[in-house]
Structure 1
Amino acid sequence: MSLTNLLCGLLETGVNQLHQLDSSAVIKRKQLNGTIIGVSLKELDIPLYFVISDQQIDVLNKFEGQTDCTIRVSFSALKQLQDNHQLTNLIKSGELEVEGDIQLVQQFANLLTDMKIDWEEHLSQKVGDVVAHKFCYHTKQLFKGAVTQSKAIEKQAALYITEEAKLAPSGLEVAYFCDQVNTLETETDKLLLKLDEKLNQQS
C-alpha cells in the first residue's frame, strides 16, 4: 500500500468515526450531498478528493471526473477557513487558492473541523458518569494550563529577542523610528519647497 493510499484510508476512517459522535454531521453532509472537493495541502502537495454523501465521506487519491471545488491551502490556515471574513485575507496572503464556489470552501471546512462532540457523554457510557466528569474536568484544566504556559513562554521569548538579545526592535523602538521617518519626510518636503521657491525667483 502506498503512502497516499494509507493517508486516504486513515483520514477517511478518522473523519467518519468522529462524525458518528457528532450530532450535527448528518445535516452538514446532507447540505453537501453529491459534492466532490479536491484538496491539496501546500506543505505536502498531495491531492486528495473528498466525495461527500449524506451517509459518509470517501477520501480518494485519484479522481477522473470534474470536481465542484478545488482548494490549495496551508495546513496552518485550515481552521480559519470556517470564518468567512478570513477567506479574502487568506487568498491575498497566498495561503489559500480556490477554483470554484467559495461558499463550498466554508461549508467543507465546517464539516471537517467544527464538530460538536459531547466527549463526556460518550465517555460516560463506557466508564460511568462520575469518572467521565472527573476525567473531562481535569483534561480541560490541563489544556487551560498548557495554553497559559504557552502564552507565557511566547511572551518571554519575545522579551528576550527584543530586550536581551537585541535581535529585533521593541515596539517603542519601531514607533520611534516611524516618528523619525515622518519628521524627516516633513523636513525634506519643506526643504524642497524652499528650493523650488528660490529657483522660481532666480528665473
Structure 2
Amino acid sequence: MYYPFFLFSLCVNAFRWLLCRLLIDSSQRLQSQSQKGNDGFTARNNSQAYFCRSLALAYIELTVLDRFVTLLREGKDGEPVPADLVQVLVRIAALFGLWSLEKHLTSLYQGGYISGSEPPKMIREAILQLCYELKDDAVALVDAIAPTDFILNSPITRSDGQIYKNLYSAMIQGPNALERPTYWKEFVDKPVIGSKSKL
C-alpha cells in the first residue's frame, strides 16, 4: 500500500475513534455539571474548554478528511481527479490529518487509543517526511490556491517575482527604519572632562 494512503486512512480511523470518545466525555461532563445543580447555561459553559470545544474541532477535522475521501473517490462534478494529482492530494490530506491529530494526542492517550512514546515520534517523523515529499510541489500548490499578495503578506512571495526589490522595500518602509535608534548615544565615545591622554 502506498505510504500516504496508509497514513490518510490511519488518520481517518483515529479521528472516528476520537470523535466517539470526545462525545462520551462531553456528555458525561455535561451530566456531571447538571447533577451539581448548575442551570443549563452554566453546565454547558463549564463543559466547553476541554470537552465540547475539542469535540467540535475534531468533528470539523474529520469532516474535512471525509470530504477529501469523497473527492478522491468520486471526483468533482462527475469528473475523476487526474491520476497525477491524486498522490499530491493524498499527501496533503495525510499531512493535514497528522498535523490535526497531533493536537489531540492528550485525548488519544487518556482514552487508551495509543500508549508509549513511539506514536508521537512516528507522527512527527511522518509529518516531516510528507513535508519533504511536498516541497517540490509547494510553488505549484500555492499557485493553485492563488492567495493574494496581501494574504501571503511576505515580501519574498509576491506575484511580481522581484524578491530582492520587495525585500529591500519592506526593510526601508518599516517603522523608524531610517532613524537612529533611541540608544545611539550610549555607544558614542564621550571624552572624560579633565583627563589628558597618557600618550
Same topology, TM > 0.5: no
Looking at secondary structure, tell me which structure has more strand per residue.
1
Larger RCO: Structure 1 or Structure 2 (Cα < 8 Å, ≥ 6 residues apart)? 2
TM-score norm. by structure 1 comes to 0.25
Question: Normalising by the residue count of structure 2, what TM-score does the alignment of the two structures yield?
Answer: 0.26
